[in-house]
Amino acid sequence: MEQTKIIAVTVENQPGVLARVAGLFSGRAFNIISLAVGETEDESMSRMTIVARGDEGVLEQILKQLNKLIDVIKVVDMSVEKCIQRELALIKVGVDGKSKQELMTVVDIFRAKVLDVSNESFTIEVTGTDEKINGFIDMVESFGIKEMVRTGTIALTRAKKTKKQEAKGESK
């Protein structure tokens, strides 16, 4: 059965590392849904967040093959960790002839932000899990999406909580 996995990969912050990871996916015909890369708290390392899709065997191979790369320092399967995931999307939505008010309602419901306004379009920023972003896209599709860009998911494990905090529901 196909599943989606979020994988956090800590790598050497060196030229060519992205190519090694990307080459691994293309060379072995692994499916990649999104990939986000940036520096970490330690400037000698970068962190890639990869969202990959495949059956159990393929996902296991992806984790092992990533681990095998010399420049990969650590691979964490975020799907087995409690983690926070976020993705950001910028969406230019057409507004001519449609109700701007209706669009603003959707923006409010999704706690999105309007960044740029013209007579023809609004450019909206929306942040959240990919589910939330997909939901937002569904809602604004009827207005006409002129342009869209998504960052891909990034994720961090949740901090360890005391029992008391958990009881209070502060883990959300």
Partner 1 sequence: MNGSQILLECLKKEGVDIVFGYPGGVVLPLFDALYAEKAINLVLVRHEQGAAHMADGYARSTGKVGVCLATSGPGATNLVTGIATAYMDSIPMVALTGQVATSLIGNDAFQEADITGITRPIVKHNYIVKDIKDLAQTIKNAFHIASTGKPGPVLVDLPKDVFTSEMDFTSYPSHPNLRGYKPVCEGNKLQIKKAVEMIEKAERPLLYVGGGVVLSGASEELMKLVEKTEIPVTTTLMAMDAFPSDHKLNLGMLGMHGTRCANYAVQESDLLIAVGARFDDRVTGKVADFAPHAKIIHIDIDPTSISKIVKVDVPVVGDAKNILKEITSQIKKMEHKDWVKQTEEWSKEFPLTYRDSETEIKPQYVVEKIAELTKGEAIITTEVGQNQMWAAQFSKFKKPRTFLTSGGLGTMGYGFPAAIGAQAGNPDKLVIDIAGDGSIQMNIQELATAVKYNYPVKIVILNNGWLGMVRQWQELFFGKRYSSTFIEDSVDFVKLAEAYGAKGYRIEKKADVEKTLKEAFAHKGLVIMDFKTSREENVWPMVPTGAALHSMIDGGLA
Burial of 144 (C-beta count, 10 Å sphere; 0-12/13-18/19+): middle
State both tokens at 45.
């390392």
State both tokens at 110.
């999704």
Q: How far is the CB of 4 from partner 1 (least distance, A)?
A: 21
Q: How far is the CB of 12 from partner 1 (least distance, A)?
A: 7
Under rule CB under 8 A, residue 1 binds partner 1: no
**Rounded Cα distance, 112 and 55, in Å:** 34
Instruction: Out of 1, 29, 70, 159, name the contact with partner 1 by CB under 8 A.
Output: 70
Q: Which of 34, 2, 23 is nearest to 65 (CA)?
A: 23
Under rule CB under 8 A, residue 86 binds partner 1: no
Q: How far is the CB of 149 from partner 1 (least distance, A)?
A: 27
Instruction: Out of 2, 39, 42, 67, name the contact with partner 1 by CB under 8 A.
Output: 67
Under rule CB under 8 A, residue 64 binds partner 1: yes
CA distances from 42 to 11, 28, 166 (A): 11, 30, 30
Instruction: Out of 18, 32, 33, 69, name the contact with partner 1 by CB under 8 A.
Output: 69
Under rule CB under 8 A, residue 60 binds partner 1: yes
State both tokens at 32.
């990649």
Instruction: Out of 4, 12, 37, 135, name the contact with partner 1 by CB under 8 A.
Output: 12
DSSP alpha helices (H): ranges in the chain?
17-27, 56-68, 100-109, 130-140, 163-167
Q: Which residues bind partner 1 (CB under 8 A)?
A: 11-12, 16, 19-20, 23, 27, 57, 60-61, 64-65, 67-74
